[in-house]
Structure 1
Amino acid sequence: MTVNPAHTALWTAPHASGAVDATVHVPGSKSVTNRALVLAALASEPGWLRRPLRSRDTLLMAGALRALGVGIEETVSSSSSVAGGPDGTGEAWRVLPAGVRGPATVDVGNAGTVMRFLPPVAALADGSVRFDGDPRSYERPLNGVIDALRALGARIDDDGRGALPMTVHGSGALEGGPVSIDASSSSQFVSALLLSGPRFNQGVEVRHTGASLPSMPHIRMTVDMLRAVGAQVDTPESGGEPNVWRVTPGALLGRDLTIEPDLSNAQPFLAAALVTGGKVVIPDWPSRTTQPGDRLREIFTEMGGSCTLTEYGLEFTGSGSVHGIDVDLSDVGELTPGIAAVAALADSPSTLRGVAHLRLHETDRLAALTKEINELGGDVTETADGLHIRPRKLHGGIFHTYEDHRMATAGAIIGLVVEGVQIENVATTAKTLPDFPDLWTGMLGA
């Protein structure tokens, strides 16, 4: 087997010589971009996505939709010198829905949104759609989507694994209707069914029957985006039953949507201000959003910073001290690696709770964070549903990433304060944050 040199290369994390003072243009949201692509592909008329994120996950989604017969045209205005530049300025994707068709093969990579959002779309195709991906994608749970689609009338071959690889045999339509699932391992199971629900003959009624749902903001994001393109959605928050979402069948409108900056990907830059006692400005931070990353304002303020939201964006300032935190991250689990990195540099212990589901993400993030921080001299203990972190004096060493983009950025945060930290496979950040090394060194004025 050929090993990609980028997977073994070591990147010396830049060490901050003083307080960071920078403005960082964060690329568009992966979560919004990939949801917008699916909704535009299922619409009854063309739509536009402006300032979309160009990363591995979003390009996999666009490539998969093209394989299913959807037209996606990329344009760059004359005001943008580089297509797909770090801030996406001037770039737009025009999506031309033409129905979905097979036979086709979809490469999901290791993108949860692609492997979970597209099987319901494939069930609407006229032909078979084969799903495959990276080896790690075979280990990530997909049973919630597979079982639900079968209950709604789809035919799927997965050899009983409840995981990839698999084939969805589309028949051109799906009856839809009520379905019960256990989405406790991923809120994406619910979002996947809701996104395609307007195109099912009876719409869809999704009832979650398991333990508490993680990442609820992502479901609210899905609902808001569905309503914005004309779908009728009933939710627990709008007076419906607890843990039940209903989508009425109907046509979806084409939209002209400008993608928000990815607030979760702003995390390492805000963390840089916090751990160095500096200041970072993130332009275009929305005043209202369903992105989980917006909670960073509250969490990092409690850990020692302060922030101001202006018409220009978010200004975040570190106080020079970093405090430990006891926090439930069940709704914002993707923020855990960065928060753990900051907690390892704090002046008091931290407990991060409600994130047992992270063991099923790009890697087992709880085990990975425990191992890597401890190998730099830290004191991290796994709990049943999270981490307990006791700050210790850290030293340099190799920080392994397990092909997980958020592990790479967590290591970079530690490297700002601890000299000699080397990040293995920093290129994995291209999954959702292209050009991270350049953005990071640019923040430091290098």
Structure 2
Amino acid sequence: MVDWGTIVADVSDRWPLYASIPFIAALIGYVTKRVAIEMMFRPLEFVGIPPLLGWQGVLPANAERMASIATETLTRNLVDPREIFSRLDPEQIAREVEKPLLEAVDEVTREVMTEYQPQLWERLPPAAKQLLLDRVRAQAPKAIASIMKQFADNIDDVFDLKHMVVTNLVRDKALLNRLIRDISRPEMSFIARSGIFFGFGLGIVQLIVWTLTHEPLVMPVFGFFIGWVTDWLALKMVFLPREPKRFFGVFTWQGVFQKRRDQVAADYGDMIAREIITIPNIVEAVLTGPKSDRLFQIIQREVQRTIDEQAGVIKPVLVAAVGSTRFQQMKLSVAEKTVQRVPQTVVYAEDYATGALDVRNTIVQRMRQLNRLEFEQLLRPAFRQDEWKLIAVGAVIGGLVGEMQVLLMLH
């Protein structure tokens, strides 16, 4: 039987401690959420004694898997390389890079001729040298336009978008973190704030149970329960329900992430266009990616064709002087040196190409057309597989704080 007199006397004597119970529970709810959020992203590299004694942020630890999931959604639903590269005008690209291109043509021609036949090059009359340079310079923009057209027509053979995105996200774990954290910042804040309210509500129940029982297990068990349930519930409320749903006929709720669909689309499109699908990254992927050999073949073929067409009157002299095999090697060398100069040449067309590709607006428009489940997949995979670890950590922290409460209440 409950001894109400003893209970009332104890509460009166130590009311500050009793009053603190729901507030400490609210603090547990908030702190466990903050810890869980930080553990998703930090540290970038494993800290501790591998493989088990230590921690690495959930996203950085699973960078390749997370990047692959994000890229799958990006490449399947949002960006079609063939479509966006068809927006580039080869002639405009040639005009944008014309000045650095002509400078590169002069340099490459002089370098190759000096390398393969220095004596012949020195002995050529200035007029003959200039004739060769002028003819190659005249055809260079046309060659660039032709290469760009072949590039766009054969985009699937020369460019692997998925490989480019995964490579950049795995290489730069901080970028992967930003991709998830920046677009989900309001959701993260909601998770942390929700812990305060959920924790306070459960703390009132904890207060009542402790007051009636004084059972030492109440505090750690409730602390564990508060940490576990509030983490689990907050994560669910970020994504579910996908459509607005009325509860108890009193209030309507929709997953926080789903409610921000338009803003998420804008933020995601901005980040992808600004930091991932950029002209420098595309150039790097095309020149060094798994399909780079195909692009080199296109450039080599176009450069050699241009040389054959424009060598004109001095071609027989060159072939006689260096030999046909050496002449072929010379053309190959021209192609290789041309490829080496692509990055610094293409940078002059970066502004035009960025605007023409219009990656940001393409992504925003496509994201707004995704169904609710497809939209959820932009963020949900970052939580799903390892969310139990975050919830468990929250529960353990809650249990430890609860045990400290017991010591405080009993002493």
TM-score bracket, shorter-length normalisation: under 0.3
Which TM-score applies when normalising by structure 1?
Answer: 0.19
Q: TM-score by structure 2 length? A: 0.20
